[in-house]
Amino acid sequence: MEYKKLGSTDLEVSSLCLGTMTFGEQNSEADAHAQLDMAVAHGVNFIDTAEMYPVAPRAETQGSTERYIGTWLKRQQRDKLIVASKIAGPSRGFTWIRNGPRINRDHLHEAIDSSLRRLQTDYLDLYQIHWPDRYVPMFGGTSYDIAQEHPTEPIQQQLEVLAELVKAGKVRHIGLSNETPWGVSEFTRLAEQHGLPYVATIQNAYHLMNRTFESGLSEVCRHRNVGLLAYSPLAFGHLSGKYVADSNAHGRITLFPNFGQRYAKTNVPAATLEYVRIAREADLSPVTMALAFARTRWFTNSVILGATTLTQLQENLDSAAVVLPAKVLEQIEAVHRRYPNPAP
């Protein structure tokens, strides 16, 4: 397992991170603990979760993921693990989270205390804003619509409260998620200007069918020393190839069709076929190729894995040492030129 610096921090994280959003919905507590044990045994020291998990989000299950991790975490050597969680933002209708989540003082303090209690730990190594408090197009949206703007907590004030959490010892470092180039620029500029916590990471979707990070965010993150935590590296299972043979194959797309609308786009099936073909002709599994591609980009700090079975997780972990041949990378670029970002 390779380890990389987490942004500008002194933390070393595994290049593969265990994502956990299936814990409490598709995975039982015993399943969750088995996945955590397997990941750590393979050198993973980085675990990512969120207060809104599991997915698909429901009032009845919210927080279960953190609770499952907590019953495992209390038996571990805490200082050997890098644990990250996220506070939910507004505008997605999750009224069961603090009667409608926001990123302000009251919500940040309540959210961190609840996450720490569920996780049975005194601190988080990385605390992330799951999506911005302000309006931005995300989760399949591609155009900025000024009609959707709404009152928002100023970024400086968000940073000031995050500084309180850092000072209290509840949070070591902060991160963003589902952010834009402007957002990263503002958070880092204001942090430097006012001596507030500096953003270490951005957790955004990045995979063979969504490389939009490369066009604007990669430049900002390079100059601001912000690392990418790449989520959905298999595009909700599409890049595994399982939906090629059977469009109704068991998976999150078929279990929660409304949650995967960003993948229900015109060129996704054609691009998927091409990427699966490239992998199989190179004697690689499509999973291995997709994960190795995301992991070896220069801007990636860690790739967030998601699995529902130990067999799937084993295949994911086995990709840790794979470096793609130049011919495969050339073929990938050719498909990208033909089908640029079919699932942004």
Alpha-helical runs (H) found in the chain? 29-41, 64-73, 105-119, 155-167, 181-194, 217-224, 242-245, 252-255, 268-281, 286-295, 310-318, 326-338
Q: Is 227 left (phi over 0), alpha (psi -120 to 50) or beta?
A: beta
| Domain assignment present for 231 | yes
Q: How far apart are the C-alpha atoms of 107 and 113, rounded to whole Å?
A: 10
DSSP symbols for 78-124: GGG-EEEEEE--SSS--TTTTTS--SSHHHHHHHHHHHHHHHT-S-E
Domain presence at residue 15:
yes
CA dist 119 → 51, 68, 164, 303, 317 (Å): 10, 8, 20, 22, 24
Say whether 53 is catalytic: yes
Q: Considering its fold, how many domains does the chain have in total?
A: 1
Asked if residue 297 belongs to a domain, the reply is yes
- Rounded CA gap, 325 and 38, in Å? 28
Domain that holds residue 303: 3-240+293-323
Per-residue pLDDT of the chain (344 residues; tens, 9 = 90+): 999 999 999 999 999 999 999 999 999 999 999 999 999 999 999 999 999 999 999 999 999 999 999 999 999 999 999 999 999 999 788 999 999 999 999 999 999 999 999 999 999 999 999 999 999 998 777 789 999 999 999 999 999 999 999 999 999 999 999 999 999 999 999 999 999 999 999 999 999 999 999 999 999 999 999 999 999 999 999 999 987 776 666 777 667 776 667 777 899 999 999 999 999 999 999 999 999 999 999 999 999 999 999 999 999 999 999 999 999 999 999 999 999 999 99
Q: Is residue 127 part of a domain?
A: yes
**Options 53, 127, 135, 231, the catalytic residue:** 53
pLDDT, position 259: 65
Residue 7 belongs to a domain: yes
Q: By C-alpha distance, which of 175, 174, 229, 173 is closest to 204?
A: 229
Q: Which amino acid is at 241?
A: G
Kindly state whether residue 275 falls inside one of the protein's structural domains.
no
| Contact present, 278 and 339 (Cβ < 8 Å) | no
Q: What is the pLDDT at residue 246? A: 63
CATH number at residue 86: 3.20.20.100
Q: Is residue 59 in a domain? A: yes
Predicted local confidence at residue 278, as pLDDT:
98
Residue 281 lies in a domain: no
